Amino acid sequence: MPLRLETPMPDIGGATDWINGKPHPEELRGHAVLVYFWSSSCHLCHEKLPELATWREQFSQQGLRMIAIHVPQSPADLEVERVKEHAQQIGITDPCGLDNQFKVTEAFDAQYLPGLFLFDEQGLLRARTGGASALEILRPMLERRMAA
């Protein structure tokens, strides 16, 4: 069943490994959190996700925290060094969970790449979107949330 609006953020502890550090719950508490799903073999992700670096710069001062979740789509996507390299290429500096067993993907019911989930300061889902227009759809909602 899809993650519904106002649902608490699911557990991200199912990630098999982390790059750029693992986020701690106390670091997220009281902050808006953007969780985004991507894959190193997803060409759309390589095209769209560099814009998230702009969002990080623009909204981190207002308290936004960001977490990346890498979802493998091919056997090569299971190679940690390859994922690190691709994350660096597309500007992912956020904590990035490697979801090699799809536990986080299932918990969020993330069906599209890139997939974006915006949670408010209380940890409740406020917006979810995915695919080619995901960033364009989420941007106005994120701007309103961060202006509040």
CATH code of residue 26: 3.40.30.10
Does 10 map to a domain?
no
Question: What mean pLDDT value characterizes the chain?
Answer: 94
Does 12 map to a domain?
no
Predicted confidence (pLDDT) at residue 108 exceeds the cutoff of 60: yes
How do residues 15-62 score in pLDDT, each as one tens digit? 999 999 999 988 999 999 999 999 999 999 999 999 999 999 999 999
Does 2 map to a domain?
no
Does 3 map to a domain?
no
Does 73 map to a domain?
yes
Does 5 map to a domain?
no
Predicted confidence (pLDDT) at residue 1 exceeds the cutoff of 60: no
pTM of the model: 0.96
**Which 8-state DSSP code applies to residue 105?**
H
How many structural domains is the chain composed of? 1
Report, as an integer, the average pLDDT of 112-130.
Answer: 96
Are the C-beta atoms of residues 107 and 14 closer than 8 Å to each other? Answer: yes
Quote the pLDDT of residue 147: 87
Does 91 map to a domain?
yes
Predicted confidence (pLDDT) at residue 124 exceeds the cutoff of 70: yes
46: number of CA atoms within 13 Å, CB side? 8
Report, as an integer, the average pLDDT of 87-93.
Answer: 92
Report, as an integer, the average pLDDT of 64-83.
Answer: 96
Query: Hey, is 57 helix, strand or coil?
Result: helix
Own/partner long-range contacts of 19-25 (Cβ < 8 Å, ≥24 apart): 19/80, 19/83, 19/84, 19/87, 19/95, 19/96, 19/98, 20/68, 20/87, 20/92, 20/93, 20/94, 20/95, 20/96, 21/95, 22/95, 22/97, 23/65, 23/67, 23/95
Quote the pLDDT of residue 148: 73
Does 33 map to a domain?
yes
Query: Hey, is 90 helix, strand or coil?
Result: coil
Q: In what order do the strands lie in the sheet with 115-119?
A: 17-19, 96-98, 65-70, 33-38, 115-119, 125-130
Range of the domain at 122: 17-147
Quote the pLDDT of residue 39: 97
